[in-house]
Copies of this chain bind each other. A is one copy, B any other.
Amino acid sequence: MNLLLLDDADFIGADRAILRDRRLTHLHEVHRADAGDSLRVGRVGGLMGQGRILRLENQEAELQVCFDQPPPPKLPLTLLLALPRPKMLKRVLQTVATLGVPRLILLNSYRVEKSFWQTPFLEPTAIREQLILGLEQARDTVLPDVIIEKRFKPFVEDRLPALAAGTLGLVGHPGDYPTCPRGLPLNQPVTLAIGPEGGWIPYEVDKLAEAGLQPVQLGERIMRVETAVTALLARLF
């Protein structure tokens, strides 16, 4: 936790907040903080700044906070991901928030097992929990939008062309394709789709291409979804 993120419900005054949950435990056990200590704080969806611990007890902590810094900019990106398996989904949500992706679309694909759609990790509160962990890691305050699209064809035919219009549209896909471009000009908007374990099927690659997303590859090595997300974004931006 490189940033203590505070939510509206934590505030008891304009510059006072009370902590009682996981974050209190973290102050005690990881930061080994004391009353009087200062630490970096942020307000979910708002500014970042400094907090001073006024009281630190077993059950709660009281902080005086001052916000004066904007969060870091987001990437100019819409990321489409075939829904990963639940354990990977948790990590990918954190990674996506850490890397500064502003919009994530979780999409169906032929190789996504139907059972993956039943996971409790897709509940809005569970998604938010992982995103917050990723923001705390990166030192950012702004939650990415996460959109769930359970049907591939209607989304890719009816909505993706408008989303991808005016952006560089890419599909990360192993195979005999051009290599992924490097170091795009600042603020070049991108729409990037990354497939499931086992990859998109050819029909899906064709449909994504019709919607304006061209396949690019990163070499012979097959990466896990989380690794592919990080590698593609590090190369593009």
Contacts and interface: CB of A to CB of B under 8 A. Distances in A.
A95 B230 CA distance: 12
A221 B100 contact: yes
Interface stretch (A118-126, A137-145, A149-157, A163-171): A137-145
A167 to B, nearest CB: 21
B138 A222 contact: yes
A98 B221 contact: yes
Interface in A81-128: 95, 98-100
A36 interface: no
A182 interface: yes
B182 A219 contact: no
Contacts of A138: 221-223
Q: Most B CB atoms within 10 A — which of A140, A221, A223, A233? A: A221
Interface string A52-95: 00000000000000000000100000000000000000000001
Given A99-B223, A139-B221, A232-B234, 9 more contacts: A72-B220, A98-B224, A137-B224, A138-B221, A230-B230, A231-B233, A234-B234, A234-B235, A235-B235
Interface of A: 2, 72, 95, 98-100, 137-140, 182-183, 218-224, 227, 230-235
13 contacts: A98-B223, A98-B224, A99-B227, A99-B231, A137-B222, A138-B221, A139-B220, A139-B222, A227-B230, A231-B233, A232-B234, A234-B235, A235-B235
